[in-house]
Structure formats: structure tokens, C-alpha cells
Amino acid sequence: MFEQLCKTLDKDSMIKAKNRLDSLSKPLESLGWLEHVIIRLCGIYHTDSPDIMKKVMVIMCADNGVVEEGVSQVGQEVTSIVAENFTRNITAINHFTNYMKQDIHIVDIGMSSDSENLNIHNHKIMNGTCNMVKGPAMTKKQALDAINIGIDIVKEMKSKGYKLIGTGEMGIGNTTTSTAILHVFTGYDLDLITGKGAGLSGEGLEKKKNAIMKACQINLPDKNDPIDVLSKVGGLDIAGMCGLFIGGAIYGIPVVIDGFISSVAALVASRICPNCIEFMIQSHGSHEPGTKYVFEQLGMEPVLNMKMRLGEGTGASMIMGIIDLAFYTYYHMGTFKDANVEQYKKHE
């Protein structure tokens, strides 16, 4: 449904970027993924000299009814507390983005409580999803509405001059919904892909796996219909980030994947709109066990592996800083001519 709206990469700009990289005084392709991401972003921006200085982290905040099943160590109230703390500049993502000189855009797409904080942008679909163990988490219309909000936010960020968008989330219970989606798409055993999230006990982990299994048995999500899967066992934060990834392809803006929940949103987006995967940039591999299986489905490898599992967009923030470093080198490093060294030649 979104495929015809997606932009394509500019191959000429990618070739120019590759040639420029090959002219720098270093062995060919010796900067590895840094060269790959430079070339990809030049293709997205349709120029071999993009300005990527202005960046924003979009954090989708939502609650999940499945928390009723004891799948989290804390209650739903923590979602809104942490969302408020984002605006107080005291959380991890605040300090990551402060250091990296990135902005933050906080979205209430489905928190159970209402906020009057003007720094939390109200795009609420509903006050938290329903308990997916008792029926669908939301309707298909609500899932699509959340996706469209994500797409519209990309349009808004582009109009404000942002060149790179990172994805973040806050939602108690969202490793449960993310694992449920991955389980439906892949059929992988829950013992293999289910993690303890924010510190569950062994008993809590069993509750989590049982809740996912019951939700799938009751709702029978159709793995060939990603909107059906998202609406029945997903979350509004995942749907909103899914929209960010699709919006990136529609408006020609690269969107950075964060951790497990964000990568599952990217997977849903790729099932809805396969072309949008070209506009996704991977960051790190979350310590959640399902992460490596999501990236296998996406055909990607995480760039960083630091055993992080915080979410909020922290991994995406770091990789955006590394992208800054890559382009700084691309623009300022001397060429073989500058270095009085004969240029390397590529052999077949």
C-alpha cells in the first residue's frame, strides 16, 4: 500500500561517493562499514556531498495491556514517569543526545495516562493497548493510524531540516509484544527468542512466554498479513516506529534502528513495504536473545555489540555519532595526490 510512494536510491551519487572514498589515502574499502554507510546515505540524499548535521531522536511512548499478565517487573505507571523524565533531561538518552548534539522528539502514541507536558507531543491512539492474552491488542485501523502517525512525523522532521532520524521507545511490556511478533513471523521457539526484558525473574520469564503463547493461540495472527500481526500481538510504540521506517522511504530520510523493539518495528515495516529497508541504518545488537534472529530476517548485521538492552534510542544515538565521524573523515581526509602516494588499484 505504501510501495508506490517510496523513493529510490540515486546510483550516480553512490558511484561518485565510492570513487571519492577510493581516492582517499588509505587501502581500498579499509574503513569497512563506515564506507558502506557513507555510500548508502549519499544514495538516499541524491548527492555525494550531503549535509547531515541536523539529527533527531524520535521516541515513541506507549503502554501495553499484556502487563496485566505479570510479564514485567514494574507497572505501567513507569512508562509515563520515564516519558516525563525525558523532558527533564535526566535519562540516559538525554545525555547521549546532548553529547552527540542531537535533538529529541517525544511522542505519546498510546500511554495509559494523559500528560499535559507540552514537550510530549500528543498523538495518542488509545490509552494503552488491550491485553493481547484476552483478544487483539488493537484494531487494524488503530495499527494503521499509528503507522500513519509515524509517517507524518518523518514529514514534519524533514520540514524542520532534519537529515537523520533515530528511533527510540518507552513502553513497559514491549519486549513481550516484540517477541510475540518475531515468534509469529518466524515460528522460532519461545525458549530461544524470549529474554528477561527489564530484569524478570525465572518465574517472570515463564509468565512472559506463556502470555505470548496464549495470545498467539487466542488471536491466530496471520504471519502473511503484517498489519494483522501488529494489531493482534503488537504495540502502538512498535506501530509508530514502523511508520517512521516507512516514512523514511517515502520522504527520502535515513532512519536508524535502535535495539530489539525498534528492530522488530523495522521488520514489520519491511514486511509491509519491502523497499523501505534501503532507508534503514542498523546500529547495535541488543542483548535480548531475539535480536540476532530479527537481523537475520532483515538481512543485516548490527554494527556494534555492547550487550546493551536499555532502549530509548541509545544505540541509535551512538551510531549517528559514528556516522558523523565517518562523514568528517570523508570530507577532510587527504587524497593519494595530497599524500604523494600512488593510488591503490582494485584487482578482480
Q: Has residue 3 got a pLDDT over 90?
A: no
Residues 122/115, Cβ–Cβ less than 8 Å: yes
Residues 319/257, Cβ–Cβ less than 8 Å: no
The domain made up of 55-323 has a fold known as: Rossmann fold (3.40.50)
pLDDT of res. 156? 98
Please give the share of the chain, as a percent, with pLDDT higher than 90: 89
pLDDT of res. 348? 64
| DSSP per-residue letters across 227-253 | HHHHHHH--HHHHHHHHHHHHHHHHT-
pLDDT of res. 197? 74
Sheet (strand 164-170) strand order: 120-122, 103-110, 55-62, 164-170, 255-256, 280-281
Task: Tell me the pLDDT of the chain averaged across its residues.
Answer: 95
* Mean pLDDT of all residues in 141-170: 98
* Mean pLDDT of all residues in 196-214: 85
Domain spans, the chain: 10-50+329-339, 55-323
C-alpha span between 193 and 187 (Å, rounded): 10
Per-residue confidence band for 199, with pLDDT thresholds at 50, 70 and 90: low
Q: What is the pLDDT of residues 36-53, one digit of tens each?
A: 999 999 999 999 999 999
Comparison of pLDDT for 103 and 197, the residue scoring more = 103
pLDDT of res. 1? 76
User: Which CATH architecture describes the domain 10-50+329-339?
Assistant: Orthogonal Bundle (1.10)
Q: What is the pLDDT of residues 65-97, one digit of tens each?
A: 999 998 988 889 999 999 999 999 999 999 999
Alpha helices in the chain (DSSP H): 11-23, 33-45, 77-87, 92-100, 140-159, 174-186, 190-193, 202-219, 226-233, 236-251, 260-272, 291-298, 314-332, 336-339
Residues 268/303, Cβ–Cβ less than 8 Å: no
Which residues participate in catalysis according to the annotation?
A: 312
Predicted TM-score of the model (pTM): 0.96
* Mean pLDDT of all residues in 138-167: 98
Comparison of pLDDT for 202 and 221, the residue scoring more = 221
Q: What is the pLDDT of residues 258-312, one digit of tens each?
A: 999 999 999 999 999 999 999 999 999 998 999 999 999 999 999 999 999 899 9
pLDDT of res. 38? 98
pLDDT of res. 345? 78
Q: Has residue 341 got a pLDDT over 90?
A: no
How crowded is residue 226: how many other Cβ atoms within 10 Å of its Cβ? 23
pLDDT of res. 347? 66
C-alpha span between 84 and 215 (Å, rounded): 31
pLDDT of res. 4? 82
Comparison of pLDDT for 14 and 4, the residue scoring more = 14
Residues 60/121, Cβ–Cβ less than 8 Å: no
pLDDT of res. 248? 98
